[in-house]
Structure 1
Amino acid sequence: MLLEKLFAEFHVDSHIITPHESSLFDSFFEEISLKKNSFLIEEGEIEPYSYFIAEGIARCWTRNHEGTEQIFWFCKEGTFSLSNISFTLQERSAFNVQMLVDSTVYRINRKQTLQLYEAIPNLKDLFGDLTAKLLARLLKRNLDLIKYSPEQYYLQMMEEYGKAMNYIPLKDIASYLGITPQALSRIRKRIF
């Protein structure tokens, strides 16, 4: 189930993993429920788990030089949380990851991750490819912020996030776009 969601999100052929391997993958993860506004990780912490978001959405943010929250990414259903950076590197997180809605996530610790890689040997290479795809998405976001107007980028965001946009507060969307909530309101009036 988890790999199918992940593969669908990143447009990966699901046949590269057998049904048995997919079931085995799921067995290594623990399902947990998180309430709206719960943190997966707070800035300065070292993440002990890797989290997969099965249902829900999280925002990744830090404070800018003025002390204002600045959203730079949303972790949506079918993806791993960006707190995995701290998990993988075992370094203090430079940002916060916070749930925007009540969510169902699956987690795995470091010991279980090593056991999972032993149980499914080609998984590590596959995750390397998925990490490269995620980095490409992060780079695309940075380039799009340079290339496009906030209105054009908002339209792209609507396409990318689809129905998940209904769960993201407008103030967070504005922060993600690098504009004020008032500017976003004007964009929305023009579009709708």
Structure 2
Amino acid sequence: MLLEKLLKEFNVDESIFSSEELALFDQYFEHFPAPKNTFIIKEGKTESYSYFIFEGLARCWTLDHKGEEQVFWFCKEGTFSMSNISFTLQQKSAFNVQTTVDSILYRINKEKAEQLYEAIPTLKEVFGDLTAQLLNRLLQRNIDLIKYSPEQYYLQMIDEYGITLNYIPLKDIASYLGITPQALSRIRKRIF
């Protein structure tokens, strides 16, 4: 269930794993309900768990030089949260990760993660590939912010997030686009 959802999000053929491995993957994770506005990690803390977003959405943000929240990433269903950077490196997080809607997460600690890698040896290689894809998405976001106007980038967000975009507060979308909520409102009026 979890691994299948992750592989689908990254367009990876699940047949590289046996049905037993797919089922085994889930057994290492703990169900973790996260109401709206739950912090998965706070800036300056070191993450003890790796979180998978089964249902819901989380935003990654930090304070800018003016002390205002700046959203730079959304963690969608079918992906691990960006708090995994702190988890994997065991370093203090440079940003916050917070749910934007009531969410269902699954989490795993370091010990269980190591056991999981031993139980499914090919998993580490596949996760390496998925990490590369995620880094490519982050890089593409930076390139898109340079290449496209906020309106063009917002249209891309509509394509990428679909109906999920309706659950993201407009102030967070505006922050993600690097514009004011008023500018986003004008863009939305032109589009719709």
TM-based fold match above 0.5 = yes
**Take 1:46 and 1:90, find their aligned partners in 2: how far apart are those partners?**
6
**Take 1:181 and 1:42, find their aligned partners in 2: how far apart are those partners?**
25
- Whether 2:151 is the aligned partner of 1:139: answer no
- Structure 1 residue ranges (4+ consecutive) displaced by more than 6 angstroms after TM superposition: none
**Take 1:94 and 1:171, find their aligned partners in 2: how far apart are those partners?**
21
Q: Deviations over 1:50-83 (max 9, x none)?
A: 0000000000000000000000000010000000
Structure 2: where are the runs of 5+ without partners? none
Match of 1:99 in 2: 99
Question: Equivalences for 1:50-129 in 2 at 5 Å?
Answer: 50-129=50-129
Question: Equivalences for 1:8-19 in 2 at 5 Å?
Answer: 8-19=8-19
Structure 2: which amino acid aligns with 1:142?
A: N
Please state how far the C-alpha of 1:153 moved relative to its aligned partner: 0.2
**Take 2:100 and 2:130, find their aligned partners in 1: how far apart are those partners?**
24
Please state how far the C-alpha of 1:103 moved relative to its aligned partner: 0.6
How many residues are treated as equivalent by the alignment? 192
**Take 2:86 and 2:163, find their aligned partners in 1: how far apart are those partners?**
29
Please state how far the C-alpha of 1:159 moved relative to its aligned partner: 0.5
Please state how far the C-alpha of 1:127 moved relative to its aligned partner: 0.1
What SS class does the counterpart of residue 65 from structure 2 fall into? coil
Please state how far the C-alpha of 1:163 moved relative to its aligned partner: 1.1
**Take 2:163 and 2:111, find their aligned partners in 1: how far apart are those partners?**
36
Please state how far the C-alpha of 1:27 moved relative to its aligned partner: 0.3
Match of 1:165 in 2: 165
**Take 1:122 and 1:34, find their aligned partners in 2: how far apart are those partners?**
30
Question: Equivalences for 1:19-38 in 2 at 5 Å?
Answer: 19-38=19-38
Q: Deviations over 1:129-175 (max 9, x none)?
A: 00000000000000000000000000001100111101100000000
Structure 1: which amino acid aligns with 2:52?
A: F
Q: Percent identity?
A: 71
Q: CA RMSD in A?
A: 0.4
**Take 2:22 and 2:163, find their aligned partners in 1: how far apart are those partners?**
27
TM-score (norm. length: structure 1): 0.99
Structure 1: where are the runs of 5+ without partners? none
